[in-house]
Structure 1
Amino acid sequence: MKKILYLIAVSTMLFSACKKQALVENTVYEKIAPGDPKYAYVKILNLTPGSPVLTYYMDDIKFSGNLSSLGVENSGYTYNQVYPDLGYSVTSPGTHKLTAKVIPTATADPNLEVFNTQISPMAGKYYTLFTTGQYTATNKKIASSVLLEDIKPLLDTSKIFVRIANLYNGGPNIDLIKGDVVTTGVKVISNVAYGTASNWVAVPSPGNGVAPSFKVFFNDAATGIPLITAGITITLSKGRAYTLYLRGIAGNPTYPFSGTFYTTFY
């Protein structure tokens, strides 16, 4: 089924004083077909250990965020949280300033700008920005990020596509192994360095059913040793493409290595 994104172009609430006291919503929507070259498409994943809860701004205009019932923003996006959850947010093509501030209701450093970078998304293309580095109470800055163009693979209802995005600070290059036992598993993706992502790969023999489960290992590409000895079991749906992202800080027990995934295309 063709999926449509909706952008609210104008939003006006008209309150009628008629006898029925009807509430009338007069909202104009613009239908945005996937890949419409009028727009660029952006997702943001906070992979900065220690990050406070953030709101993102594009050219000083709020790009993300939530409001409480009192109209004061009290939630946002912290470490290992993605905006938006599914799909992408839209912006105009061209060069933009992307920033992040601590939410105004935070106990520490409310409204402090902690991230500032420039991005230049192109018309009709999709991107994920990963914040990286480490945030501390001393530096109070997210000093680095990685912008990845998301090129949609040719989806197939019999296949599952995956890629690796390696954001594991201080970690090795990574191989992705599929199999119940690491020594006899199939190498699906090879040698992904920190700050880079692999190409899309169809999972070999994913299993029966619409959403099969299977075990994967994230191996040190140089030694062949898995970073998680027992591997992890994941359940993915056919006909979709998933980003498996690696996070944490090598040698840091507070932010250990972890492999997580999100749906990138469906």
Structure 2
Amino acid sequence: MKKKLYYLIAGVAMLFSACDKDKGYVENTEYERLTPGDPKYSYIKILNLSPGSPVVNFYMDGTKFSSKLSSTGVENAGYTYNQVFPDLGYAIATPGARTLTGKIIPTATADANLQVFSTNINPAPGKYYTIIPNGAYNTSTKTIPSTLVLEDVRPLLDTTKVIVRFANVLSGGPTMSLIRGTAVSDPKIINNVAVNTASDWVEISSPGGGPNPSLSFLFVDAATNVALGTALTTTSLTKGRAYTLYVRGISGAASPNNPIITFYTTFY
């Protein structure tokens, strides 16, 4: 029987269903009670960071894994550059060696149903992962060329601090460092993150006043200390949460594939 289970983590499991508000369940053909990190499953998030990527859906061992609502009853929606599945939390998969693929949606005007992405993963029981297809979409071979798999180890959260890590997914870019601030003279909080890797978690112990302090970040070439893009300034980072900041795009490219830093909430 096909299983498609979704899991939202916010200290406890939450129901991913509009018809039952009881906490601690996921929806299948029947309801199943889970606890966070239940070793019966692995927990997967997919973030498409391939510039120029067509709209794709993802499949686990040939069975559709990702899901977006369709207004027509025909699969006409999926995930393109800088889109994430699921929107919140993690999808649930069986642990062990698996093949994750991506196919262009069947209603596409070009290359419908073509497989453009494939990678082998081996998620461990009870662990959380973000899988990032990346690298500029190759229009000659019609493939997404690379993959970054991050194990999402939950850090110790503190309601007085903001926790961040930095992922370097800039196609053709250099090893980078992350600055807290808007100028290259401001403090580096994460150093020497190579392309297609991510740092460990780092605490920002004095993020500012209020529950949602304003924080700015700048990414620089680790070797030259030259800024590679404009600073990210946000008022939406919340104390007591952990965020993945990532630099995406193509080195030296213009919009919409210009280098830019973005973030998503990883744990709260």
TM-score (structure 1 length as normaliser): 0.88
Deviates most, 174-183 or 242-251: 174-183
The 2-side partners of 1:104 and 1:134 are apart by 22
Q: Which among 168, 179, 183 is matched to residue 166 of structure 1?
A: 168
In structure 1, the partner of 2:252 is 251
- Contact 1:65 1:73 (8 Å CA) reproduced: no
Offset at residue 245 of structure 1 (A)? 0.7
Q: Note the C-alpha offset of 1:3.
A: 2.2
Q: Distance in 2 between matches of 1:194 and 1:50?
A: 18
1:167·1:195 contact (CA, 8 Å) conserved in 2?
Answer: yes
**Structure 2 residue 9 is matched with structure 1 residue 7:** no
Query: Match of 2:234?
Result: 234
RMSD between aligned residues: 1.5
How far the C-alpha of 1:200 sits from its partner, in A, is 0.2
- The 5-angstrom pairing of residues 32-51 of structure 1 reads 32-51=34-53
Structure 2 letter corresponding to 1:219: V
Shift of 1:127: 0.6
- 1:264 and 1:2, CA in 2 relative to 1: closer, same or farther beyond 3 A? closer
Q: CA deviation at 1:137?
A: 3.1
Stretch deviating more after TM superposition (81-90 or 61-70):
61-70
Q: Which runs of 5+ in 2 are unaligned?
A: 1-9, 15-24
SS in structure 2 at match of 1:9:
coil
- What SS does structure 1 have at the residue aligned with 2:43? strand
TM-score (norm 2): 0.88
| Secondary structure, aligned partner of 2:84 | strand
% of aligned pairs identical?
A: 56
| Aligned-pair CA distance for 1:7 | 2.6
Secondary structure of the residue aligned to 1:182 is: coil
Counterpart residue identity of residue 98, structure 1: L
Encode CA deviations 1:94-118: one digit per residue, 9 max, x unaligned: 0111111111111111111111111
Query: Residue 129 of structure 1: CA displacement?
Result: 0.8
The structure with the largest alpha-carbon Rg is 1
User: Contact (CA 8 Å) 2:138, 2:145: kept in 1 or not?
Assistant: no
Q: Decide which of 119, 122, 128 is 1:120's aligned counterpart.
A: 122
Aligned pairs, number: 247
Q: Which residue of 2 aligns with 1:17?
A: none
Deviation at 1:221, TM superposition (A): 0.9
- 1:120 Cα deviation (Å)? 0.4
Q: Deviations over 1:195-221 (max 9, x none)?
A: 110000011420011111122211111
Task: Determine the structure 1 residue equivalent to 2:197.
Answer: 196
CA–CA distance in structure 2, aligned partners of residues 231 and 143 of structure 1: 28
